[in-house]
Chain A
Amino acid sequence: DAKTTQPNSMESNEEEPVHLPCNHSTISGTDYIHWYRQLPSQGPEYVIHGLTSNVNNRMASLAIAEDRKSSTLILHRATLRDAAVYYCILRDVTSYDKVIFGPGTSLSVIP
Chain B
Amino acid sequence: DTEVTQTPKHLVMGMTNKKSLKCEQHMGHRAMYWYKQKAKKPPELMFVYSYEKLSINESVPSRFSPECPNSSLLNLHLHALQPEDSALYLCASSPDHAYNEQFFGPGTRLTVL
Q: Are A and B part of the same complex?
A: no
Could you tell me which A residues sit within 8 Å of B by CB distance? Answer: none
